Amino acid sequence: MRFLFATVLALGLTAPTAESLAHHGWSWTTGGNIELTGIITAVRLGNPHGILKIDVEGEEWRAEVGQPWRNERAGLEDGDLAEGVEIRLIGEPSDDVSEKRVKVERLFLGKREFILYPERD
């Protein structure tokens, strides 16, 4: 009986939740692209991906950028994504329009372009 309980407990602790499965990947996006331009107001870079809060004409958008290795591969350097920086981005928005959330495929800082997901082109 203890073995059965331990097995069930171990499986339950390691099984991904529906929320965690839905969060990652592209399943939550529309499949189409939008373009946004705004000012970065907050930055959290790291795993599983970076998050930027962007003021787009008075509305706060949440932009998900790549994992640290993906950002580096695209050519982004420490400090490029910082509060106060103007950013233009192209990406897939959430299929829930009330979220104001976008998964960034490419972004522009001034005239510099950074392609985070070339395989999505």
What are 91-115's pLDDT values in tens digits? Answer: 999 999 899 999 999 999 999 999 9
pLDDT, one tens digit per residue, over 21-38 is: 444 577 888 889 999 999
Q: Which residues, 6 or more positions from 43, have their beta carbon under 8 angstroms from its beta carbon?
A: 50, 51, 52, 53, 81, 82, 83
List 34's β-bridge partners, or say none.
Answer: 91
pLDDT, one tens digit per residue, over 52-105 is: 999 999 999 999 999 999 999 999 998 999 999 999 999 999 999 899 999 999
Distance in angstroms (rounded) separating the CA atoms of residues 36 and 99 = 15
Q: Which candidate, 61, 45, 73, places its Cα nearest to that of 103?
A: 61
Contact 38, 47 (CB under 8 A): no
State pTM to two decimals.
0.76
Determine how many CB atoms are found less than 10 A away from the CB of residue 76: 21
Distance in angstroms (rounded) separating the CA atoms of residues 101 and 41 = 15
CATH for 30-120, among 2.40.50.1010, 3.40.50.300, 3.90.550.10, 3.40.50.10800?
A: 2.40.50.1010
